[in-house]
Amino acid sequence: MEDTICAVATSLGVGAISIIRVSGNNALNIVSKIFKGPNLKKVKSHTINYGYIYDKDEVIDEVLLTVMLAPKTYTKEDIIEINSHGGINTTNKIMELLLNMGCRLAEPGEFTKRAFLNGRIDLTQAESVNDLINSSSDNQRKLALNNLQGTLTKKIRNLRKEIVSLIASIEVNIDYPEYDDIEVITKDILIPKLNNIKEQIKKIINDSKNSQIIKEGINVAIVGRPNVGKSSILNRLLDEDKAIVTNIAGTTRDIVEGSISLNGFKVNFIDTAGIRETTDVVEKIGVSKSKKIIKKADIVIVVLNGNEKLSLDDEKLIKSVPYKKRIIFVNKSDLKLKIMVKDDYIVGNSKNDDGLDTLKSSIITKLNLENITKDMTYISNVRQLDLLKKALKSLEDALNNLECMPVDMALIDIKNAWNYLGEITGEVYQDELLDTLFSNFCLGK
Ligand SMILES: Nc1nc2c(ncn2[C@@H]2O[C@H](COP(=O)(O)OP(=O)(O)OP(=O)(O)O)[C@@H](O)[C@H]2O)c(=O)[nH]1
Ligand SMILES: [Mg+2]
């Protein structure tokens, strides 16, 4: 934290502008050594200053410097951002000068790590910065931004506040049993309060299933017997000739994937090999992959050929997919329908796209995602989920102990729950955790 660090904050490559970020106590001194223009030590904070970067007497680039003085900066330290002309050569030259003048090359995520260590943001917010940078759908961006603005932090802090006041009451009772005027915290008071906190944590854990979908996207498998039109449907959904289509049964051998954006969600469609008994070695592997994908997918579209009667294989396949993730699409409706269509079947074809919009929207309704974006406080990664589960388990242990033991015997578990929640926001943390967490960031952030 004593070093002044620098890194290229924009992506490396050819572009109109590159931004080099410098942060630390010595930022003004170091940059002044290579900059000719207004005296950086006298300019106002949060101003843009025009001038030149020099290597001794040689002009290296014409630049704009943004000067931001501590503490109102991203890292809470003095920050200078050099807006140079883009291009690998100029950017590298300026970086070289900064390193020669005493800057250290920042590690990935080090600016954000400093923002955390200097108390500007907490850990969930730091993680959201990374999520925001890597977001690949509109909803993922919204989720990350909400958490960056502290929605999750607030929830966790409130839970911790409730818990700490219980801890305080129990400890006062233990430490000062002789005082009569202190309210005695009985099981009747404690148990409902603990239950209430437990339910709030449970709700956040349940909601997290949706956050997984927001982050990773929805995986939709397209399965069915050979030749029913799975690959044709994939191509129409993606609006691209991605998979090979022929009238030969067993055309698709390996999985073919592609994604689209639907209601702000990223939807990954996975076309699979037609499922049938086969002696062909390659096709066999494909069929076994298809079966595995059915298990892993969030939604499975079972495609039937509407122009043929329902076969035993079709029935077997339909039954192998759990109802809650199954959508049945009767394809080839442009030909004569020979299938008994049930209420929840979607009928259409890939020749003139009939039924494909209904098919798409049924993915959203099947997963109950219509209203998901209204309340976007979701936990966004496995680390947070794991800690919430541990906090929940501790509260359950405390409640179990209270069934047959005195109030103070629940104290350790209640304290554990408080600590686990503190780890989520980073109020309690280990250095090792920070190193791993921030190493996933990109340089310059
Ligand atoms: N009439 C009609 N033909 C279709 C339709 N969809 C697909 N086909 C035809 O059905 C044949 C098989 O289509 P594919 O998309 O390759 O079928 P598949 O299910 O991927 O087959 P496999 O990869 O072998 O499992 C091709 O000749 C397509 O042109 C449709 O909606 N209507
Ligand atoms: Mg196919």
For 367-412, write each residue's pLDDT tens digit. 988 877 666 667 778 889 999 999 999 999 999 999 999 888 899 9
CATH number of 138-213+378-439: 1.20.120.430
For residues 63 and 80, the answer to whether their CB atoms sit within 8 Å is: no
Top pLDDT among 68 and 406 is at 68
In the chain, domain spans: 5-121, 138-213+378-439, 216-372
Give pLDDT, residue 16.
92
Q: What is the pTM of this model?
A: 0.71
State the residue for tokens 């970020």. 21
Q: What is the b/e burial string over 201-223, where b = at least 16 CB atoms within 10 angstroms of the residue's CB? A: beebeeebebbbbbbebbbbbbb
* Residue partners of 206: CB distance under 8 A and separation at least 6: none
Instruction: Decide if 138-213+378-439 and 216-372 have a common fold.
Output: no
The response to whether residue 244 sits with its C-beta less than 6 Å from ligand 1 reads: no
Give the mutation target among 222, 225, 227, 304 for probing the ligand 1 site: most ligand atoms within 8 A of CB: 227
Cα distance between residue 355 and residue 352, in whole Å? 9
Mean pLDDT of 308-313: 94
CATH number of 216-372: 3.40.50.300
Of 188-197, 198-207, 325-334, give the lowest mean pLDDT range: 198-207
The response to whether residue 229 sits with its C-beta less than 6 Å from ligand 1 reads: yes
Token pair belonging to 442: 């990109």
The response to whether residue 246 sits with its C-beta less than 6 Å from ligand 1 reads: yes
Cα distance between residue 370 and residue 348, in whole Å? 23
Determine how many CB atoms are found less than 10 A away from the CB of residue 322: 10
Quick one: which of 348, 252, 352, 232 has its CA closest to 293? 252
Mean pLDDT of 319-345: 95
332 CA to middle of ligand 1, Å? 8
Of 111-125, 168-182, 315-329, give the lowest mean pLDDT range: 168-182
Determine how many CB atoms are found less than 10 A away from the CB of residue 433: 13
Question: Which residue type occupies 29?
Answer: N
Determine how many CB atoms are found less than 10 A away from the CB of residue 377: 15
Cis bond leading into 71, ω under 30°?
A: yes
The response to whether residue 232 sits with its C-beta less than 6 Å from ligand 1 reads: yes
Cα distance between residue 261 and residue 241, in whole Å? 17
pLDDT tens, position by position, 229-283? 999 999 999 999 999 999 999 899 899 999 999 988 899 999 999 988 888 888 8
CATH 3.40.50.700 fits 5-121, yes or no: no
Q: What is the b/e burial string over 394-423, where b = at least 16 CB atoms within 10 angstroms of the residue's CB? A: bbebbbebbeeeebeebbebbbbbbbbbbb
